[in-house]
């Protein structure tokens, strides 16, 4: 009888040990497209009037980092500009006089397992920040892995530098957006969502 009871307890033990609390990683949906945004809650976004946004974006790659431009990028940056304009900001091509500078980049085949905020800045072209360095006045949104095609947008406050650094008032990560698998409607919808879900932006 004692043997049978031990058998029952053993079965229970095996069942308990074999059943993990967390689901398998395949169930966690971490490869799906996702839109992360975070903003500096101490910032009054209505005080900004103008912004600079290049038509090209920075391609972050171990092979050929640098400026990148094609028709997808063109419509992508145009959508960002449309959202900024809808918030009441005016686009300007004069970097020296604008209030905000939008840095846009996307990641291609970078084999990195841990991504600290701003890690990709090292891949940016020389003098991208105009001799200044960016910094986050808050703990920014972050991810622990990037899929190919993940887009990163940093909104720098170039009107109020702190020493030799520009505060980043808003940052955005859109995972797996520019993979070539998404329609232009999906890309545009994701950009719109990034702006819509940011509660700190001025009312439209």
Partner 1 sequence: MKKLLIFLVTLIFTAGVAQAQDQPVSLGYTPSSYYSFSWNTSFTVGDFNKWVGNGSPAGFDFGGRYLIRKGLMAGFNFGWQRISQSYGYQTFYGDDGAAITSTNYRFTWMVPFQAVIGYQLMSDKMISPYLSLGIGGDYMEHHLLVQEYDIYKTRWDFSLTPELGALVKFGSYSSWGALVAVNYKWTTNQIVIANNQDLKNISMVNLKVGIVLIVR
Indicate the SS3 state at residue 34: strand
Q: Of 24-32, 57-65, 102-110, 160-168, which segment contacts partner 1 by CB under 8 A?
A: 24-32
The residue among 85 and 145 lying less far from partner 1, judged by its C-beta, is 145
For residue 193, give both structure tokens.
């969502």
Residue whose CB is less far from partner 1, 11 or 112? 11
Compute the distance between CA of residue 66 and CA of residue 18 in angstroms, rounded to an integer: 48
Tokens describing residue 66: 């640098």
> For residue 168, with 0-12 CB atoms within 10 Å meaning exposed, 13-18 middle and 19 or more buried, which class applies?
buried
Q: DSSP letter string over 100-138?
A: EEEEEEEEES---S---TTGGGGGSPTTTTTT-EEE-SS
Q: Are 28 and 187 in contact (CB under 8 A)?
A: no
Q: CB neighbours (10 Å) of residue 193?
A: 15
Interface with partner 1 includes 131 (CB under 8 A)? Answer: no
**Residue 2 binds to partner 1 (criterion: CB under 8 A):** no
Q: Is 109 in the site for partner 1 (CB under 8 A)?
A: no
23 vs 122 by CB, closer to partner 1: 23
Rounded to a whole number of angstroms, the minimum distance from the CB of residue 136 to partner 1 is: 11
Our finding on whether 1 is near partner 1 (CB under 8 A) is yes
Site string for partner 1, 38-77 (x = CB under 8 A): xxxx------------------------------------
Q: 59 to each of 23, 55, 108, 122, 153, how far by Cα in Å?
A: 34, 13, 7, 12, 12
Minimum distance of partner 1 from residue 83's CB (angstroms): 15
Return the residue of 67, 121, 128, 138 that touches partner 1, per CB under 8 A. 138
Per rule CB under 8 A, is residue 201 in the interface with partner 1?
Answer: no
| Neighbouring C-beta atoms of residue 102, cutoff 10 Å | 22
Instruction: Give contact residues for partner 1 (rule: CB under 8 A).
Output: 1, 4-5, 7-9, 11-12, 15-16, 19, 21-23, 27-30, 32-41, 138-139, 141, 143-145, 175, 193, 197-200
């Amino acid at each position: 009888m004692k043997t049978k009871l031990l058998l029952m307890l053993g079965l229970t033990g095996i069942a308990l040990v074999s059943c993990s609390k967390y689901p398998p990683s395949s169930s966690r949906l971490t490869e799906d497209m996702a839109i992360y945004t975070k903003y500096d809650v101490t910032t009054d976004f209505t005080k900004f009037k103008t912004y600079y946004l290049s038509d090209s974006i920075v391609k972050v790659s171990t092979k050929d980092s640098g400026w990148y431009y094609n028709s997808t990028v063109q419509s992508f940056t145009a959508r960002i500009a449309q959202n900024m304009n809808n918030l009441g900001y005016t686009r300007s091509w004069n970097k020296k006089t604008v209030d905000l500078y939008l840095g846009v980049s996307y990641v291609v085949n970078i084999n990195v397992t841990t991504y600290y905020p701003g890690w990709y800045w090292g891949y940016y072209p020389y003098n991208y920040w105009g001799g200044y360095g960016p910094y986050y006045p808050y703990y920014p949104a972050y991810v622990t892995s990037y899929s190919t095609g993940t887009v990163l947008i940093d909104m720098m406050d170039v009107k109020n530098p702190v020493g030799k650094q520009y505060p980043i008032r808003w940052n955005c990560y859109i995972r797996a957006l520019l993979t070539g698998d998404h329609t232009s409607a999906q890309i545009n919808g994701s950009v719109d969502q990034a702006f819509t879900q940011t509660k700190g932006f001025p009312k439209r």
